[in-house]
């Protein structure tokens, strides 16, 4: 009899704690849907407003610098940016979401994508891939793009983008919007990025 009672008690205890664990797990999974998040997005990613669920509020800014200002003032929770951090900017935590190319020159500026064929392109990446994704003309693969910035436009990775040695080029489509492939979507956070949120954004992107 005692043995039977002990077995029943063990089952009840297991069900109780198992139920609580399941409740906690379910609550954790639904947190992302219940919380509201404010995201400052630079112009390249204004279009993501249409992809975000209602609890992800997009604040459209005119630049990444403006977005970082809002993040620093704790007016937003995250920033959507297409570039890496500049030397003078705070060392925010971040997660890379998308892929893209960094277009650089000695002085930077704006270029219409249709005008790329007017420039000689130098890259330390796969030139065939760049030809497939952009309307370029003459393109050369080189070991160090920074050695050729006086002669044309460099195309490199964002990890190799050095703000002390170049100027960023804003590659524009004919409607005035930036070509998203000339940027790399990165989520910046004032503190450690929450992997749950980052995963949700990746799924939506």
How far is it, in rounded angstroms, from Cα 123 to Cα 114? 19
What is the reported pTM?
0.78
Alpha helices in the chain (DSSP H): 2-34, 64-72, 127-133, 195-204
- pLDDT tens digits, one per residue of 79-127: 999 999 999 999 999 999 989 999 999 999 999 999 999 999 999 999 9
- pLDDT tens digits, one per residue of 19-47: 443 333 333 434 556 789 999 999 999 99
Long-range contacts (CB closer than 8 Å, 24 or more residues apart) made by 197-205 = 197/32, 197/37, 197/78, 198/95, 198/97, 200/32, 201/56, 201/97, 202/97, 204/48, 204/51, 204/52, 204/53, 204/56, 205/48, 205/51, 205/97, 205/98
């Amino acid at each position: 009899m005692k043995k039977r009672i002990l077995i029943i008690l063990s089952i009840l205890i297991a069900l109780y704690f198992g139920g609580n664990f399941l409740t906690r797990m379910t609550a954790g999974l639904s947190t992302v849907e219940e919380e509201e998040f404010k995201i400052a997005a630079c112009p390249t990613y204004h279009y993501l407003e249409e992809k975000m669920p209602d609890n992800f509020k997009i604040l459209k800014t005119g630049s990444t610098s403006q977005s970082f200002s809002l993040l620093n003032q704790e007016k937003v929770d995250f920033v959507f940016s297409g570039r890496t951090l500049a030397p003078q900017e705070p060392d925010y935590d971040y997660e890379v979401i998308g892929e893209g190319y960094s277009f650089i020159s000695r002085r930077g500026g704006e270029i219409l994508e249709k005008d790329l064929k007017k420039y000689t392109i130098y890259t330390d990446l796969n030139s065939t891939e760049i030809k497939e994704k952009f309307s370029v003309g003459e393109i050369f693969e080189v070991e160090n793009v920074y050695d050729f910035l006086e002669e044309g436009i460099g195309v490199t990775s964002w990890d190799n983008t050095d703000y002390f040695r170049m100027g960023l080029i804003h590659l524009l489509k004919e409607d005035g919007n930036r070509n998203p492939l000339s940027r790399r979507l990165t989520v910046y956070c004032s503190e450690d990025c929450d992997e749950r949120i980052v995963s949700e954004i990746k799924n939506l992107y």
